[in-house]
């Protein structure tokens, strides 16, 4: 006798929508137990990270600032994930976008005009797209797995950043710190609400999510992405080329990650520093799945994950939690989300194997193979 996973005949749509809520709830409960076992006040840690920032109006601004890049990157990733194009290189594309825009900023440091910042933004988008073009080329021409190629490029991007900060782009007036010169006023992202930290990147993130939702739901391109992801063979019969979809998905994901990078560099950072890789590219993967690959859901998921950053910082000073606390909660959230998704699509069944016949693996045994069907 043993438990096996059997595919459900039809997944419950209500449970698919409830899975993120269940995952967040399990994260809070298990996180509290985990930090209690580690010698901290677990309930207070959960309250400090996930609840207290919601009652501090100043923290609302910080929450939106951190949610904006997560939403932008996750929206781009979700488009690729819907087409089964697994872009794990958003962190590197985010860095390259920031570096490309910073290059324009350093070249125009002594210039002024309203054209400087838009040029930096365009350079950031193109930088992210160029970095994403590498795994796209390898995938379509050499059939190299885009997960591995895009992931490895993240580390190349980080080393390139470190080289530039300690070499050609190092500010000679920066007291030997590895950083660029501060951006000028013309190169800095304007504030959307005077007297607050809310910069122009926040409404841009919301507008991009709404635009992506409309394009996915209402356009031919969105239909192509959905069909290629759900039924690749039907997509080929329908005239949709998989290679063009791979390029489209990676270019959109890379461009939006690059956009997030330059918006962060010209906004909260105001310069380029070695601490620029904040892990947003990896966290955005969790945001995309927590939002059910829906741009509108991604906006809400970005706020939830931004809470782990904002609350994690305050919990470090208030409770003495380690800096990895936010990462622990993010990892648990992804784990429980994947676990609940499995149970939504599969059910646990108690089976006794017949004599001489081992139990089928998970997902097998529900349908006949082609060979069995042919001989039946």
Q: What is the pLDDT of residues 245-304, one digit of tens each?
A: 999 999 999 999 999 999 999 999 999 999 998 899 999 999 999 999 999 999 999 999
How many alpha carbons fall within 13 Å on the CB side of residue 46? Answer: 15
Residue 233 scores a pLDDT above 90? no
The distance of Cα 146 from the centroid of its chain, to the nearest Å, equals 16
Please give the Cα distance from 82 to 211 (Å, whole number): 16
Distances in whole angstroms, Cα of residue 135 to Cα of each of 100, 105, 243: 19, 28, 12
Instruction: Give the per-residue pLDDT at 53.
Output: 92
55-64, 212-221, 304-313, 343-352: which range is least confident on average?
343-352
Against a cut of 0.85, is the pTM above it?
yes
Q: Could you tell me the pLDDT band of residue 361, with boundaries at 50, 70 and 90?
A: low
CA atoms within 13 A on the CB side of 109: 12
Q: What per-residue confidence (pLDDT) applies to 359?
A: 56
Spatial CA neighbour of 208 closest among 20, 66, 307, 68: 68
Q: Residues 24-32: what's their mean pLDDT? A: 96
Q: From the CA atom positions of the chain, what is the Rg in Å?
A: 23
Average pLDDT over residues 336-357: 81
Inform me whether the pLDDT recorded for 183 exceeds 90.
yes
**What pLDDT is recorded for position 2?**
74
In three-state secondary structure terms, 241 is: coil
pLDDT band at 368 (very low <50, low <70, confident <90, very high): very low
Question: Is the pLDDT reported for residue 137 higher than 70?
Answer: yes
Band (200; pLDDT cuts 50, 70, 90): very high
Question: For 321-326, what is the mean pLDDT?
Answer: 88
Q: Tell me the CA distances in angstroms from 231 to 30, 228, 242, 300, 318, one per residue in order.
A: 37, 6, 11, 29, 51
* Cα first-last separation, the chain: 29
- What residue ranges in the chain does DSSP mark as E strands? 2-7, 346-351
Quick one: pLDDT at residue 42?
92
Domain locations along the chain: 1-40+321-376, 68-306
The answer to whether residues 255 and 127 touch, using CB atoms and an 8 Å cutoff, is: no
pLDDT at residue 196, rounded to an integer: 87
Q: State residue 267's pLDDT score.
A: 92
Share of the chain above pLDDT 70, in %: 93
Which residues on neighbouring strands pair with residue 349, listed in sequence order?
4
Q: Which two tokens stand for residue 372?
A: 């069995």
Q: Does residue 363 surpass a pLDDT of 60?
A: no
pLDDT of residue 372: 41
Helix 42-50 / helix 13-37 crossing angle, nearest 10 deg: 130
Q: State the Cα–Cα distance between residues 11 and 345, nearest whole angstrom.
A: 5
Q: Which residue has the higher pLDDT, 352 or 192?
A: 192
Mean pLDDT for 16-42 is: 94
How much is the mean pLDDT over the chain?
90
Q: Quote the tokens at residue 236.
A: 């080929």
Average pLDDT over residues 312-316: 89
DSSP string, 258-322: HHHHHHHIIIIISS--TT---SHHHHHHHHHHHTTT-HHHHHHHHHHHHHHHHHHHHHHHHH---
3-class DSSP state of 348? strand
Kindly indicate the confidence band of residue 371, based on its pLDDT and cuts at 50, 70 and 90.
very low
Look up residue 32 and give its two tokens: 């509290």
Neighbours of 14 (CB within 10 A): 9
Rounded Cα–Cα distance for residues 51 and 83 (Å): 36
What are the φ and ψ backbone dihedral angles of 227, each rounded to 5 degrees? -65, -45
**Kind plus residue range of the DSSP H or E element containing 255:** helix 242-264
**High-pLDDT (> 90) share of the chain, %:** 70
């Amino acid at each position: 006798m043993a438990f096996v996973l059997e595919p459900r005949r039809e997944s419950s749509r209500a449970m698919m929508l409830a899975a993120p809520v269940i995952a967040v709830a399990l994260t809070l409960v298990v996180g509290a137990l985990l930090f209690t076992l580690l010698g901290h006040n677990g309930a207070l840690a959960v309250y400090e990270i996930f609840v207290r920032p919601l009652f501090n109006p100043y923290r609302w601004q910080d929450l939106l600032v951190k949610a904006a890049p997560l939403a932008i990157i996750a929206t781009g990733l979700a488009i690729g994930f819907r087409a089964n194009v697994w872009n794990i290189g958003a962190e590197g594309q985010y860095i390259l976008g920031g570096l490309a825009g910073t290059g324009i900023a350093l070249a125009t440091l002594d210039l002024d005009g309203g054209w400087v910042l838009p040029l930096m933004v365009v350079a950031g988008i193109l930088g992210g797209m160029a970095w994403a073009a590498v795994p796209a080329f390898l995938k379509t021409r050499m059939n190299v797995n885009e997960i591995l190629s895009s992931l490895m490029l993240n580390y190349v991007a980080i080393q390139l950043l470190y080289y530039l900060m300690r070499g050609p782009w190092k500010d000679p007036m920066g007291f030997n710190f590895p950083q660029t010169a501060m951006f000028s006023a013309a190169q800095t992202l304007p504030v959307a609400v005077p007297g607050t930290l809310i910069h122009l990147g926040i409404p841009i993130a919301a507008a991009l999510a709404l635009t992506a939702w409309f394009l996915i739901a209402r356009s031919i391109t969105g239909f192509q992405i959905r069909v290629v992801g759900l039924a690749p063979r039907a997509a080929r019969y329908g005239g949709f080329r998989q290679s063009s979809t791979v390029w489209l998905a990676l270019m959109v994901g890379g461009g939006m990650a690059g956009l997030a990078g330059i918006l962060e560099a010209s906004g909260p950072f105001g310069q380029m520093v070695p601490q620029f890789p904040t892990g947003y590219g990896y966290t955005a993967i969790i945001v995309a799945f927590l939002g059910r690959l829906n741009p509108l859901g991604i906006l809400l998921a970005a706020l939830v994950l931004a809470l782990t950053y904002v609350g994690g910082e305050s919990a470090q000073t208030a409770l003495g939690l380690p800096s990895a606390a936010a990462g622990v909660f993010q990892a648990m959230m992804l784990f429980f989300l994947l676990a609940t998704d499995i149970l939504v699509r599969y059910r646990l069944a108690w089976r006794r194997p017949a004599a001489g016949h081992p139990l089928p693996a998970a997902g097998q045994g529900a349908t006949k193979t082609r060979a069995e069907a042919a001989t039946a």
